[in-house]
Amino acid sequence: MRSNTILHKVITSVIPDAVGKKLIGLVKSKDEIADLLKLDDVIDLVIPRGSNRLVSQIKAQTKIPVLGHADGICHVYIDKSADMDMAKRIVLDAKVDYPAACNAMETLLVHKDLNKTEGLDDLLMELAKEGVVIYGGPVAHDTLKVPKVDSFHHEYSSMACTLEFVDDVQSAIDHINRYGSAHTDCIITTDKRSADTFLQQVDSAAVFHNASTRFCDGTRFGLGAEVGISTGRIHARGPVGVDGLLTTRCILRGSGQVVNGDKGVVYTHKDLPLQ
């Protein structure tokens, strides 16, 4: 509360008097948030930043549109043609770089042909060295003897992840679309056809080929300071900068024109410079 008070003071101190210091308000208690969420007649958008529980509670308590995501269940799928050295770099970064981030890997899907190969064994050993606890889906639990996961729809936000084997890229896509949270998902493969299929069919805000899920970030995308990440589809999706909050107004300057059923009118649409 004290930090926010100082930040509020710094920001409002540079707002011109003609605009007014009350442009940016300061909420000091959780009780005030409940009252704010009732003001759907004057508040256009809520952007909650915090835990899964916070976001879910806010969505349930207001009629105001909410931009955000409750879950960050991000997947990395290692295809059978993957460069395993690359796969190791990406998976370690996606899980270990910042485990609590919403764009950290929570589920590792692996093509069944890679089960018990040297490349995968090396990757799993590196994860263990970093302190990552691995839980298995039914197949991984049986073959690798790792603890069995209770649910595929789980966000650890810590040094842990789920591992499961799948038959092919289509099985990986189906798994992600069923259990994911439409945040960020990645395929590691040298097969262009598999990559294109994955990129086209995974219905997430961000879908990557051969790159860490940790890149899903407003600043890294060049959007400036990130105000939120949306897993919805309207209107902003994925990492959102200030531009993503803008909407469109139409201003028309005429000289008495009327529609009159469009009689004798031909519309010639062209881009005009803004004035």
Reported as a single tens digit per residue, the pLDDT across 202-218 is: 999 999 999 999 999 99
Paired tokens of 143 = 């073959």
Calculate the dihedral angle through the C-alpha atoms of 231, 237, 243, 245, rounding to the nearest 10 degrees. Answer: -60
> CA-CA distance, 163 to 146, in Å (whole number)?
9
273 has a pLDDT exceeding 90: no
Q: How far is CA 154 from CA 27, 35, 75, 106, 189, in A?
A: 31, 31, 11, 8, 25
* Between residues 31 and 73, the one the model is more confident about: 73
275 has a pLDDT exceeding 90: no
Q: What is the pLDDT of residue 168?
A: 98
> CA-CA distance, 201 to 178, in Å (whole number)?
12
Closest CA to 177 of 81, 77, 83, 249: 77
Q: Quick one: average pLDDT of 66-71?
A: 83
Q: What is the pLDDT of residue 196?
A: 98
- Return the HEC string of 50-87: CCHHHHHHHHHHCCCCECCCCCCCEEEEECCCCCHHHH
Q: Quick one: average pLDDT of 167-193?
A: 97
- pLDDT category at 30 given cuts 50, 70, 90 is confident
Direct distance between the N- and C-terminal alpha carbons of the chain, in angstroms, rounded to an integer: 44
Q: How far is CA 251 from CA 75, 196, 258, 259, in A?
A: 44, 41, 16, 17
* Between residues 236 and 101, the one the model is more confident about: 101
Fold of 74-219: Aldehyde Dehydrogenase; Chain A, domain 2 (3.40.309)
- Name, in order, each residue with C-beta under 8 angstroms of 155's C-beta and a sequence gap of 6 or more: 52, 71, 72, 73, 106, 181
> CA-CA distance, 216 to 101, in Å (whole number)?
10
Tell me which of 2-16, 74-88, 216-230 is least confident. Answer: 216-230
Query: What integer best gives the mean pLDDT of the chain?
Result: 93
Return the domain boundaries, the chain: 1-67, 74-219
